[in-house]
């Protein structure tokens, strides 16, 4: 990847910009203006979800921008409380209505199970995926995928699906790289996307990243984004200011050496959100 408008190719041939704009909590406050600023900064891929409660703001900002719909890549997600065939389809229609569009570029299952007490979660997941496949076949969405799925969740789909997920959006950053899941997805041809690619302040202030950011004359955030790209992972950074938005794009003028990639990849655990699909949320 040499430019933010370079694209990955999903396993169904759909092209997707190599850097997207994550919108979870990025639109708190004046969200519409944040999205307009991101559009002005050059972002064309916006990742949202029903749970984020910002689809209407994103839709208005995109329409007001005057940019053609086909030049924007819009991705949303069905929330875990809306799993199941009919509720998934209804949630999809609501996302289209709020975004003000008649199709999505990508639609994801947000979490593999609604809660830890649902014993029949595999059946519910299968029904949800079948609904996703139906939406895809109808041409309502250009690609379908998942979020926060680990290999054993993906195996449930592989046993029953006709269509392989195009992407798996997981927490991925230095200090939390989920190597088993990344390796599984790469072997299956599933694009890994990184939510929270910058980790948190514990990551950005880590001595190794501070050392390497000085070496490469970039910010720790730029180093994290570049690390994801060099791993073949699509990062979804978020920012509130135009300057930070542009800085997060300026990651194509340097390469991380093989040795330093290994050093970053073997950092001690750092910056984990506490979220895990199979366990209770850990509060730090």
**271 Rama sector, left if φ>0, alpha if ψ -120 to 50, beta otherwise:** left
First CA to last CA distance, the chain: 36
Respond yes or no: is residue 176 known to be catalytic.
no
Pairing mode, if any, of strands 167-171 and 106-109? Answer: unpaired
d(CA 246, CA 240): 11
Given 8, 43, 45, 52, the catalytic residue: 52
d(CA 172, CA 199) in angstroms, rounded, equals 8
Question: Are the C-beta atoms of 249 and 4 separated by less than 8 Å?
Answer: yes
How many CA atoms does the CB half-sphere of 82 hold within 13 Å? 21
Give the angle subtended at the CA of 203 by the CAs of 201 and 205, to the nearest 5°: 65
Going by C-beta distance under 8 Å and a sequence separation of 6 or more, which residues neighbour residue 54?
23, 27, 31, 48
> Quick one: which H or E segment has residue 169?
strand 167-171
Cα–Cα distance measured from residue 224 to residue 222, given in angstroms and rounded to the nearest whole number: 5
- Exposed/middle/buried for residue 11 (C-beta within 10 Å: 0-12, 13-18, 19+): middle
Residues assigned a catalytic role: 52
């Amino acid at each position: 990847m040499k430019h933010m408008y370079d694209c990955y190719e999903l396993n169904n041939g759909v092209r997707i910009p190599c850097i997207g704009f994550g919108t979870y909590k990025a639109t708190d406050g004046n969200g519409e203006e944040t999205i307009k600023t991101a559009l002005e900064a050059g972002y064309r891929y916006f990742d949202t979800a029903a749970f984020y409660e910002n689809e209407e703001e994103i839709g208005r900002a995109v329409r007001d921008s005057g940019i053609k719909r086909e030049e924007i890549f819009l991705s949303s997600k069905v929330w875990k409380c809306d799993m199941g065939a009919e509720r998934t389809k209804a949630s999809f229609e609501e996302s289209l209505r709020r975004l003000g569009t008649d199709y999505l570029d990508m639609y994801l299952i947000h979490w593999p199970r609604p809660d830890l007490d649902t014993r029949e979660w595999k059946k519910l997941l299968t029904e949800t995926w079948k609904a996703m496949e139906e939406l895809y076949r109808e041409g309502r969405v250009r690609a379908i995928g998942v979020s926060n799925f680990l290999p054993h969740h993906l195996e449930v789909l592989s046993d029953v699906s006709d269509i392989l997920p195009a992407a798996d959006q997981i927490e991925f950053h230095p200090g939390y790289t989920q190597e088993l899941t990344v390796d599984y997805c790469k072997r299956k041809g599933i694009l890994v996307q990184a939510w929270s690619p910058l980790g948190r302040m514990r990551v950005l202030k880590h001595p190794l990243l501070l050392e390497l950011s000085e070496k490469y004359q970039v910010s720790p955030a730029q180093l994290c984004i570049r690390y994801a790209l060099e791993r073949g992972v699509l990062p979804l950074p978020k920012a509130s200011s135009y300057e930070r938005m542009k800085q997060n794009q300026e990651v194509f003028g340097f390469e991380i050496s093989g040795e330093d990639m290994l050093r970053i990849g073997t950092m001690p655990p750092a910056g984990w959100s506490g979220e895990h699909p199979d366990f209770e949320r850990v509060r730090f």
